[in-house]
Structure 1
Amino acid sequence: MALPNFELLSLSDNASGWGPLSPTSSQDSIPFQQYNKADRIGRVADWIGVDRFYRRGNERYNERMYGSAANAGSQFDYIHGMDDHNFQLVDSSKPLQRNPQRNFRVRQMHIRKMMQKENDKRELANQSQNMKMKRSIAKEQQRAFKMWQRRGGNARQGQRGQGGRFGGDRPKERLPSVQVRPEWSVLEEMNLSAFSKLALPNIHDGEDIGDHQYGILQYYEKSMDRITVKNSVPLQRCAGVYYNVTTTEDTVIQELAQSGVGNVFGTDIILATLMTAPRSVYSWDIVAYRIGDKLFFDKRNTKDILNPVETLTVSETSSETPPFDGTGINNAKDLSTEAFYINQNFRRQVVRRNEDGYKLKHPRAPFEEEEAGESGTAYKYRKWNLGNGVNGKPVELVVRTELDGVMIGPQSELQTLTIKAFNEWDSSQSGGVDWRTKLDSQKGAVMATEIKNNSAKVAKWTLQAVLAGSDTMKLGYVSRVSTRSTQNHVILGTQYVKPTEFASNIALNMDNCWGILRCVIDACMKQKPGKYLLMKDPQSAVIRLYQLPEGTFESDRESSDDENSDDDDDQ
């Protein structure tokens, strides 16, 4: 078998230059592949058709010198022509069409939820920070207020600014309850800060004195317990009489003093004022009579206005106390008058006045006038033994106490009531909380705020209930219909408290209260028989004991009696 011949192809040699020879007649139809001087010798093939990698510095040296190699050798590149027209889908089913409007709504919903979450987180963080800041500010204000109070109130501040600690919204100084005259001599000064350290333990509960119980008590209306903010009840204007007979004019006390029952006499509100003296801020005064070996705590006759002892102060111990006297309806005097009439109407409205009540031993007190009608208040005369006094004799205290109503207890027992009412005038100015938003859900917080802002008044109410031996205290929450008017009020709620338990809740120590009273009694019993005045200083925590000349305050009382007799003659 013959082997195939191996022949070498003929190669053209260009001896006159570089590159291929000029095309011949047989090679005319053969296209000429362009070449580039930047091509590197020894490279078999450039599959990517781009050669830009040889540079000098940051310049494209090869492109600048020999042209771009991006288009070199592109004659034989494959072009995908008409591929889009020849393409066919393998899956002939209809594609799933989505509603773009629905997708847009879903995205918007997700965005709103994310924004709401961010806003909630931001508000929660701000609220927590604001609450911490408010508590811190309240503590600082309370601390500053106590310091300011210990340094003499706003008397010193008024000399530098326009009317007190916060500028022109405060008076320069609080006025005394009675103007001190030059002929009055100061016998003793009692520091109220030292009163907090006094204690007289082992004082037993008071006992009723014989049959000296007077008045008729109406039964409590249980439907008043269902009052809430949503179903509030308007406060009615209930007709009635209010008796504020002083100690020395009380015929029952005169009878007891003459018969030798007790040697110290007073009413519950007068003694409660003395026993809670460290809590008071405003000025008050009490007249003390030393007659023989007996002592009578009395009050001045202030004609047609309330005595400072009987005044129901409003926001007295608040850090935002109202101006003592000034224009408008929210000064201290007008607020006290408003609180007094609210309490009188509230205690009459919450009992069944049209039904027969519970009669005590005597249906009417000797000082009550038959023509004037019933007062709705019962009086019990009680006695306590406070140990031996400065003269070695026992100190026997006789007190006229008051009760406001009765109710049937859970065991069908009869319970006596002391009925009082808080009043809301303007929470934005009083430093309190809005009752209409907080009372139903946070009654404890509302109560705590009222105790803080009215510490002296609440303590006196509690002591009156303890001295009277009351079983229960009924507290009401009465607010203005409009903060700009004092004419119309509504009852927003009621609450029961036990006097002894409530005393411990407000840090009212009975041993300390008895110790304060005993200290005042001893200070008065050391003096010779005569007439004296105990006055709380309006600017500092001090009680001063003044000796009064004979006939002091008698002219006011005589003129008042003359006016009453003239009125009777005219009738």
Structure 2
Amino acid sequence: MSFPDFAKVIAALPSDDAEWGPRNTAPEGVPAILNNAPYAPYSKGDKLGRMADWTTDSSKDGRDGQRGGRQAYNRNFRDQQVYGAGASSLFSLQHAEDEATFSVVDNQRTSTKTRGGFGRGGGTVFRGGRGGRGGQVTARGGRGGAQGGRGGRGGRDDRYGGGRGGRGGRRFGWRDFDKPQRLRDASVNIKPDWKLLEEIDFSRLSKLNLETDEGEDVESYGSLYYYDKQYDKITPKGPEKRLQISERAYYNPTTSEDPVIQQLAERDEATIFATDQILSMLMCAPRSVNPWDILILRQGNKVFLDKREGAGFEFVSVNENAIDPPMDPTDGNKESINAPQALSLEATFINLNFAHQVVSESEERKFSFENENPFYNPSEETEPLASKGYKYRRFDLSVSEEEPVHIIVRTEVDAVIKSPVGKGDQFMTIKALNEFDDKAQGAGGAPNWRDKLVSQKGAVIATEMKNNSCKLARWATQAILAKADLMKIGFVSRANPKDAGKHVILGVSGYKPREFANQMNLNLANGWGIVRTIVDMCRNMSDGKYVLVKDPNKTVLRLYEVPFNTFDEDLEAREPVAEEDEE
């Protein structure tokens, strides 16, 4: 084409802004050879990094849908796109048949030599093997052995049947998007006549702060036995120590039903009343995952924090804060004994019996408080009384001297022990952690206690702090509220992972409550700030009944105003059953 002909082509280009690029049909006076000539479409937003390069296809065989070459997207060349590169396939030979639609059916497993796979640099192990290096077929690396053997340096991954490893651990989060979303049910049914007053996100609760004193004792009731120091010598390698089932009378009434709190309220000893079980849940609310609710009664200038039957925190939770917590049978868990409700009942059973077993029940060596147990009636009860002391303690939540605000909390201690330096008796709380099956779903990557409790005790405790952050924070809070000198935490495991009825004690550890709280990064001032904020909301409202509900699937607290007769029908529904039993 001569230069004048080319000039005619340029002059024939449309000037209308609605069109872009040359026409498919040559204009008048232009050689017919240009009819239907293909051209590369492009956008006005294309970056002209360099001139068009038609010599390199975007795919290695001319087919669409495959990335390749310098024109393919690459973060190193994202600012240097080639003009017209996206349309280079228009000039490539199109195959008559698309071979990409065909696949070869082959049931035999083939080896892979590529680097990558599960874990950090580890590869998929298809059959047998010892993780990264051994086995029949592996990839390079050994930090994330998947299916097969003992996983080398990589940790066990339950989802792919891997074995146990010496380092690393399960890489949580892999293919979590493919799991069904777990929806928990609320601890209480929200009724239409309930009025929503406040909705508080956990991020706001975490910013609250209120410094208080250590509190003072107002009343003390009950009696305590001395702790048996022989349990401190138990190890997994020593003789097996079975957890015994003991029948003891144990009382934990709610706040408004406590006769001592009723007397203290009549004497105007404080304006807020609660139990350590209820208060610890409120103070550790930002760590909670499971649903719960607290019933709040406002009567005059008094505020009572009550618990409701089935409120969600009466039983001990298990692996509540684990990345992959235990699942219900409806969510895919095939073992009902490892369901959340079954594990919670098992943990509560273990805690009650463990606290009774590790004390020496001797009437001669017994510590008694000023008053007897206010809930126990020897003439009516047939079971002996458990070792339990109730200390009613008062804390100052005042922000200014013009408006004093005090709270009385019923705290509990479980035993006493002689001080090694001769400072008299020391009070302690006794709790127990339980191991159900380290290979089951919901174990949270915990190591086997029988193997690691002696050699890697710190790792065992750190894993429990991660998987049970809310539970352990509540235990530490309760011990600090009671001004206990020690916390004894037992390690109790199933005698057989498939039997939830028989357990053995593998060891006992002792901690100072405040040091234990510091290890967990637990801030008591933040907890008191949460309590004061919730109480102020209710004090600014009229007399009535309110319910504080933790959303089952979100990190949100909601405060509802409910009719005063709410939940009364539950008590009335149980009365006829009780009368029939008596007959």
What's the TM-score once normalised by structure 1's chain length?
Answer: 0.69
Give the one of 294, 318, 321 matched to 2:322: 318
Question: Of 189, 193, 196, which aligns to 1:183?
Answer: 193
Q: Is 1:468 matched up with 2:482?
A: yes
Corresponding letter in the other structure for 2:263? E
* Cα pair 1:325 1:333 within 8 Å, conserved: no
DSSP-derived class of the 1:488 partner: strand
Cα distance, 1:172–1:508 mapped onto 2, change above 3 Å: closer
- The Cα shift of 1:566 comes to 5.0
What's the secondary structure of 1:387's corresponding residue?
Answer: coil
Deviation at 1:506, TM superposition (A): 0.5
Match of 1:514 among 528, 545, 563: 528
- Do the aligned partners of residues 132 and 325 (structure 1) sit closer, same or farther apart at CA in structure 2, a change above 3 Å counting? closer
* Correspondence for 1:230: 237
What's the secondary structure of 1:515's corresponding residue? helix
Please list the CA deviations of residues 434-491 of structure 1 after superposition, one character each: whole Å capped at 9, or x if unmatched: 1011001111110000110000000001001000010000000000011111010000
- 1:424 Cα offset (Å): 0.2
Aligned match of 2:375: 367
Structure 1 or 2: more helix by fraction = 1
Which residue of structure 2 lines up, in the alignment, with residue 33 of structure 1? none
Is there any run of 5+ residues in structure 1 with no aligned partner, and where?
1-118, 146-163
Q: Compare CA radii of gyration and give the structure with the larger one.
A: 1
Structure 2 runs not aligned, ≥5 long: 1-129, 135-139, 145-151, 157-166
Cα distance between partner residues in 2 of 1:207 and 1:360: 19
Alignment of 1:50-199 (within 5 A): 131=153, 141=173, 167=179, 172-199=182-209
The correspondence for 1:358, drawn from 362, 366, 370, is 366
Structure 2: how far apart are the matches of 1:484 and 1:405?
33
2:408 counterpart of 1:401: no
Identity of aligned residues (%): 42
What letter corresponds to residue 427 of structure 2 in structure 1? T
Tell me the residue number matched to 2:541. 527
Residue-by-residue CA offset, 1:312-341 (whole Å, 9 max, x unaligned): 110100012011465611110010000000
The whole-number CA distance in structure 2 between the counterparts of 1:324 and 1:179 is: 20
Shift of 1:533: 0.2
Instruction: Give the structure 1 partner of residue 303 of structure 2.
Output: 295
Give 1:385's aligned residue.
396
2:30 corresponds to: none
Q: CA deviation at 1:369?
A: 2.8
Equivalent residue letter for 1:418:
T
Count of equivalent residues:
420
The answer (yes or no) to whether the contact 1:217–1:357 under 8 Å persists in 2 is: no
Q: Distance in 2 between matches of 1:200 and 1:319?
A: 31
Q: Alpha-carbon deviation of 1:355?
A: 4.4
Within 5 A, what are the aligned runs for 1:11-30? none
Alpha-carbon offset, residue 562 of structure 1: 4.9
2:217 is matched with 208
Conservation of the 8 A alpha-carbon contact between 1:247 and 1:297: yes
Q: Conserved in 1, the CA contact under 8 Å of 2:143 and 2:168?
A: no
Q: Highest relative contact order (Cα 8 Å, sep 6+), 1 or 2? A: 1
Pair 1:364–1:476, CA change in 2 (3 A)? same
Aligned-partner SS, 1:282: coil
Distance 1:165 1:242, change over 3 A: farther
8 Å CA contact 2:328–2:340 kept in 1: the answer is: yes
Q: Secondary structure at the match of 1:384?
A: strand
Shift of residue 426 of structure 1?
Answer: 1.1
Counterpart in the other structure of 2:348? 340
Distance 1:392 1:533 in 2: 29
Q: Distance in 1 between matches of 2:229 and 2:363?
A: 14
Q: Cα distance, 1:563 vs. partner? A: 4.0
Query: Could you tell me how far apart the structure 2 residues matched to 1:473 and 1:263 are?
Result: 30
Written as runs of structure 1 = structure 2, the 5 A alignment for 1:417-428 is 417-428=428-439
Task: State TM-score, norm by structure 2.
Answer: 0.68
Mapping of residues 466-505 of structure 1, within 5 Å? 466-505=480-519
Q: Provide the C-alpha distance between the structure 2 equivalents of 1:368 and 1:392, rounded to a whole number of angstroms.
A: 41
Distance, in Å, in 1 between the alignment partners of 2:170 and 2:299 is: 49
Work out whether 1:241 is the aligned partner of 2:249: yes
Tell me, yes or no, if the aligned pair for 1:531 and 1:547 is still in contact at 8 Å. yes
For 1:223 and 1:136, how far apart are their aligned partners in 2?
35
Contact conserved, 2:223 with 2:373, CA < 8 A, in 1?
no
Structure-2 separation of matches of 1:405 and 1:561 = 36
3-state SS in 2 of match to 1:428: coil
Is the Cα contact below 8 Å between 1:479 and 1:489 reproduced in 2?
yes
